[in-house]
Structure 1
Amino acid sequence: MTDLVITRIFDAPRELVYRAFTDPDQLAAWFGPVGWSVPRDSVDIDLRVGGHQRFTMVNDADPDMRSPQNATFVEVIENELLVGEENVAHIPEFGADVLRLRIEFHDEEGGRTRLVLTQSPFPEAMAGDAREGWGSSFQKLDKILAG
């Protein structure tokens, strides 16, 4: 098991990047690697400690392939930090009961944002695909933030 850590600079202010993760319309517009989408009607966000973030990623080529996400927020600091936990006990490949996702939002020069994402514990065999998936998603987010 490992911690998957991804650091990424976005050419947008921290508040806008944070909103892209917490606003249902925006999340549906960018989340998921290329080839997957998130139907807006599947997104439900209750942004508070003890609240949740639920949505379903759907494969564009085969809509029967779905990946539901259901996380509970354990830390929320507006425009600074989101921490969620998801029960993954039903997915044997994870080898853990809970997957934690921590997303930090930091100011950078020029009105940009440094995002630090940590997912753990993460199976090393799956880390490469997950890193690639986040990178692909972030390319879609770049386009949303530029618009």
Structure 2
Amino acid sequence: MTDLVITRIFDAPRHLVYRAFTDPDQLAAWFGPVGWSVPRDTVELDVRPGGKQVFTMVNDDDPAMSSPVNATFVEVVENELLVGEEDVSHIPDFGADKLRLTIEFHDEEGGRTRLVVTQSPFPTEMADGAREGWGSSFTKLDKILS
């Protein structure tokens, strides 16, 4: 198990990057790697401690393939921090019952934002695929933010 840490600089101010994670319409427009979509009608966000983050990623080529997300926000600081926990005990070979996702939003020079995503604990053997998935998602997010 490891901490999966991904850092990305976005050419947009922090409040806009934060909104892309907390506005249901925007989340549905970019989340998921290329080849996957999040139908807007699956997205439910209640962005506060104890609130839910629920959505389903669906494979574009085979809609029978899907990946549901059902997490609870445990810490929220507007435009700065989102922390959520998800029960992952149903995922074969994951090796943990809960996955904690921490998303930090930092100001960078020139009105840009440094995003730091940490998922923990994370199975080492799944880390490369997760990095690729986040990177692919962030390519879609770049287009939304531009």
The TM-score with structure 1 as length reference comes to: 0.99
CA distance in 2, matches of 1:23, 1:91: 27
Q: How far off its partner does 1:92 sit? A: 2.4
Instruction: Return the offset for 1:103.
Output: 0.2
Deviations 1:76-128 (A, max 9, x none): 00000000000001112211000000000000000000000000100011000
Question: Partner of 1:92: helix, strand, or coil?
Answer: coil
Q: Give the aligned CA root-mean-square deviation in angstroms.
A: 0.4
* Range with greater deviation from structure 2 (8-17 or 83-92): 83-92
Query: Which residue of the partner structure matches residue 95 of structure 1?
Result: 95
Q: Look up the match of 1:2.
A: 2
Unaligned regions of 5+ residues in structure 2, if any?
none
Question: Which residue of structure 1 aligns with residue 43 of structure 2?
Answer: 43
Inter-partner Cα distance in structure 2 for 1:39 and 1:60: 11
Output the CA distance in 1 between the equivalents of 2:84 and 2:63: 26
For 1:7-64, what per-residue CA distance to the aligned partner results, in whole angstroms no more than 9, with x for missing partners?
Answer: 1000000000000000000000000000000000000001100001000000000000
Equivalenced residues, count? 146
TM-score (norm 2): 0.99
Structure 2 match to 1:68: 68
Aligned counterpart, 1:133:
133
Aligned to 2:78: 78
> Distance in 2 between the 1:36 and 1:7 partners?
22
Paired residue secondary structure (1:133) = helix
Q: Find the aligned partners of 1:117 and 1:95 in 2 and give their Cα distance.
A: 20
- 5 Å-filtered alignment, 1:46-57, equals 46-57=46-57
Moved over 3 A (4+): none
Distance (whole Å) between structure 1 residues aligned to residue 5 and residue 13 of structure 2: 21
Secondary structure, aligned partner of 2:33: coil
What residue number does 2:29 align with?
Answer: 29
Query: CA–CA distance in 2 between the matches of 1:27 and 1:91?
Result: 23
Q: Structure 1: give runs of 5+ residues left out of the alignment.
A: none
